[in-house]
Amino acid sequence: MSSQPTGGSRVSLKDVKKAFGSNVVLQGIDLEIPAGQFVSIVGKSGCGKSTLLRLMIGLDSVTAGVLDAPALKEQAARIVFQEPRLLPWASVKDNVAVGLGEGQSGKAADNQAAAILDEVGLKGREGLWPSQLSGGMRQRVALARALVSQPTLLALDEPLGALDALTRIDMQALLEGVWQDLGFTALMVTHDVGEAVALGDRVILIDHGQVVLDLPVNLPRPRKRGTPEFAALEGQILDKLFGDDPRAREAH
């Protein structure tokens, strides 16, 4: 029993601007994201990348410009946060069921929940409390909760940011596998340039509220870090991020 492919949906932004009061956070954003693409969004803290993500899945509204995302009208957009945000008093299965929405229960819902838990590698852990899981497993439950309603657009806001280095590598492979199986459009904000290159079909770099780099990544999957092509792409992004400041690059 595994989950069926859901397919993805496109997102398009035309001259989008977002301001909170007089504070302009994003300006002149033009993006065409085809259905099923994996987009990595990187940038320094406070550059507006998380705001862009929230706009694209309808958690915030645009101040000016046009945002066109069919997934929003179909309520087929979901988000995974850096923190799993699981209900501590609900079992793994009940936490996943939250993702099905109001009034969804019974055999069909149970099967859906079981299938998606299998997909994220948590088969047999349906009855556990979140406090009995490791950090990586909790984030898998959060992923299952987001995916159980078969979204066509999935936003990931630094989804692996709170995990240790080894768990991250594990989770990157899992995320890539799930995305390949289900085919949704993935929008992932990360501050880890290596992670952005490893997972993204394309890496978008945001700086001071604007897209300063839109770089396609045409490497075969699963990608190997440390190859010259991989390192070249990473270097290109870091150059754009930090300019010529060698100390900042070294620190990264």
Partner 1 sequence: MAATASEGPFSRALPWLVPLALIILWQVSSSLGWLPPNILPAPTAVLQAAWVKLQDGSLVDNLGVSFARAMSGLIIGGAIGFSLGLLNGLSKQAEMLLDPTLQMIRNIPHLALIPLVIIWFGIGESARLFLVALGVFFPIYLNTLHGVRNVDPQLIEMGRIYGMNNRTLFLKVILPGALPSIFVGLRFALGVMWLTLIVAETIAANSGIGHMAMAAREFMQTDIVVLSIVIYAILGKLADSATRALERKFLAWNPAYAKV
- Binding of residue 59 to partner 1 (CB under 8 A): yes
Asked if 191 contacts 42 with a C-beta cutoff of 8 angstroms, the reply is: yes
Q: Which two tokens stand for residue 121?
A: 């590698």
Closer Cβ to partner 1, 99 or 159, answer by number:
99
Closest contact distance (angstroms) between CB of 25 and partner 1 is 19
**Site for partner 1 contains 87 (CB under 8 A):** yes
Contact segment (CB under 8 A) with partner 1 among 22-30, 60-68, 88-96, 214-222 equals 88-96
How far apart are the C-alpha atoms of 145 and 139, rounded to whole Å? 10
For the chain, what is the radius of gyration of the CA atoms? 18
Instruction: Show contacts with partner 1 in window 141-200 (CB under 8 A).
Output: 145
Strands 64-68 and 77-80: unpaired
> What is the nearest approach in angstroms of partner 1 to the Cβ of residue 86?
8
Which one, 65 or 161, has the nearer CB to partner 1?
161
The yes or no reply on residue 61 touching partner 1 (CB under 8 A) is no
Residue 75 binds partner 1, judged by CB under 8 A = yes
User: Residue 214: how many CB atoms within 10 A of its CB?
Assistant: 13
Distance CA 138, CA 124 (A): 14
Query: Which range of residues in 1-9, 17-25, 81-89, 244-252 is near partner 1 by CB under 8 A?
Result: 81-89
* Rounded least distance, CB 85 to partner 1, Å: 4
Cβ closer to partner 1: 14 or 85?
85
Among 35, 72, 81, 121, which residue sits at the site for partner 1 (rule: CB under 8 A)? 81
Other CB atoms within a 10 A radius of the CB of residue 67 amount to 18
How would you classify residue 85: left for phi > 0, otherwise alpha for psi between -120 and 50, otherwise beta?
left
Chosen residue from 20, 30, 89, 243 binding partner 1 by CB under 8 A: 89
Q: Within its chain, how far is the Cα of 196 from the centroid?
A: 10
Number of residues interacting with partner 1: please give it, by CB under 8 A: 18
x/- site string to partner 1, residues 95 to 134, per CB under 8 A? ---xx-xx--------------------------xxx---
Amino acid at the residue 129: W
If the CB atoms of residues 145 and 202 are measured against partner 1, the closer one turns out to be 145
Nearest-CA neighbor of 11 among 60, 63, 53, 64?
53
Query: Could you say whether residue 17 binds partner 1 (CB under 8 A)?
Result: no
Alpha helices in 6-63, H assignment, sequence order: 49-56
Where in the chain does DSSP place strands (E)?
11-20, 23-33, 38-42, 64-68, 77-80, 153-157, 185-189, 202-207, 210-216
Write out the residues near partner 1 by the rule CB under 8 A. 59, 75, 79, 81, 83, 85, 87-90, 98-99, 101-102, 129-131, 145
